[in-house]
Structure 1
């Protein structure tokens, strides 16, 4: 069972390791939904990180359809992460038609063939989740998991959809499904009972006062580990 938490800086990341997180998703600008962290932040975290750090690669908050300039920025960020010792990224890209942008995804994989990729919640904005999943199966093992709220705003609103995606993952051997968005200690047990995923992504749900400007809460992390039997 894997617990991924969102972190914003070196202190956050160290605390997440101390509290028993399996890995972290490192981001900046949570008010914009999470963007690529700065070079300075990455330089202070990636070398010698105490647990796997999955770095968000998202150049802006204006959707997940990227033009040529965006693609160049993404490529340079991926190379920077590699140079600093990073081996995991969180990335997603779509076409104007609401499909997976296979051309850009392939370019990222070619740039960093040994990089472990989580395809993020851009997945939830595709026009057909099942079709999008089958597209991403082609990129296994480079794309090893999908962060998703089942096409809804919150994971708790999409238990049936998430359960179906987990079953699809198990049947195909494709990317694992990692539910995220809106998960907290009040709803995790029921969601896990319904969905049966092996990975869960939690953000403000394990923060004191439920806010990203507050630290991770040891008591809430303990509750999450108890619920998931970790």
Structure 2
């Protein structure tokens, strides 16, 4: 079981790896669902994780809020992807939508071009795609070489245990074309149920290893991962 732990900045990275994280999703500002970290945070995390044989996926998101981006924000994301690749990141986590509830295909194609050579995860913007278009979205992302889709299987306010049927449908539809990565509200307590029910090989969350650090922290803010 590959455990991808979502961490805010570098603070809890060493502890997460010690507790069994195989991959880190690196973010800033988890309270708004995660944004792109600074150069220093990315550089230190990538160097540390690679010494520990742990991969790093970095979210590329210029702000909280929705996933509909203007020209300036798109240029920022393009530059951030290029910069992260130069630092040796293993992959990036992105997601762009149109106002009509479908993937912003033009922007995604530009970002995917920038991301060539590293893994790409489409984050929980997927859960805001129109419900009747989500299987079509899996087709679109798989055919463009995206490695995985991070999804809660439903709106962020729902319990993931109540979304297992939908997640199973995603997994069966995706087959071997693209990985469906469940996330959002997964803890050490419900992890066995989710893994056994869905028969998955990768899992994502902030609490899949228990609480990191001395402070008890909440899960993602807006469910974007």
TM-score by length of 2: 0.87
Q: Which residue of 2 aligns with 1:16?
A: 16
Q: Give a deviation string over 1:195-214, Cα, whole Å, max 9, x none.
A: 2222111214521564169x
Alignment-derived partner of residue 85 in structure 1: 88
Give the equivalent residue in structure 1 for 2:55: 52
Q: Secondary structure at the match of 1:99?
A: coil
**CA 1:180–1:210 in structure 2 vs 1: closer, same or farther (change >3 Å)?**
farther
Aligned equivalent of 1:66, options 63, 66, 69 = 69
* Alpha-carbon separation, structure 2, partners of 1:9 and 1:70: 21
Q: Could you tell me whether the CA contact under 8 Å between 2:32 and 2:65 is conserved in 1?
A: no
The equivalent residue for 1:106 is 109
Instruction: Give 1:112 deviation, angstroms.
Output: 2.5
Aligned residues: 209
Q: Alignment RMSD, CA only?
A: 1.8
CA contact (8 A) 1:87 1:116 kept: yes
Deviation sequence 1:93-149 (CA, Å, 0-9, x none): 111111111211111121231020011000000002212111111112xx1111101
Whether the aligned pair in 2 keeps the contact of 1:144 and 1:175 (CA below 8 Å) is: yes
Distance 2:63 2:11 in 1: 24
Show the counterpart of 1:175: 178
Give me the whole-angstrom Cα distance separating, in 2, the residues matched to 1:8 and 1:62: 17
Please say if residues 79 and 111 of structure 1, whose CA atoms lie closer than 8 Å, have aligned partners that are also in contact: yes
* CA deviation after TM superposition for structure 1 residue 78, in Å: 0.6
Q: Does 1:184 align with 2:187?
A: yes
Query: Is contact 2:97–2:125 with CA below 8 Å preserved after alignment?
Result: yes
Q: Which residue in the other structure is 1:121 paired with? A: 124
Tell me the residue number matched to 1:207: 211
Equivalent residue, structure 2, for 1:4: 4
- Give the Cα separation in 1 of the matches to 2:16 and 2:71: 36
Residues 1:212 and 1:41: Cα distance change in structure 2 (over 3 Å): farther
Unmatched runs of 5 consecutive residues or more in structure 1:
214-230
1:164 alignment counterpart: 169
Q: Which structure carries more relative contact order (alpha carbon 8 Å, separation 6+)?
A: 2
Q: TM-score, normalised by structure 1?
A: 0.85
1:95 pairs, out of 89, 95, 98, with 98
Query: 4+ runs of 1 displaced by more than 3 Å?
Result: none
Write the distance in 2 (CA, Å) between the matches of 1:168 and 1:210: 37
Mapped pair 1:131 → 2:142:
no
Shift of 1:160: 0.3
Q: Are the aligned partners of 1:204 and 1:212 in contact in 2 as well (CA < 8 Å)? A: no
CA distance in 2, matches of 1:15, 1:197: 24
Per the TM alignment, residue 46 of structure 1 is displaced from its structure 2 partner at its CA by 1.7
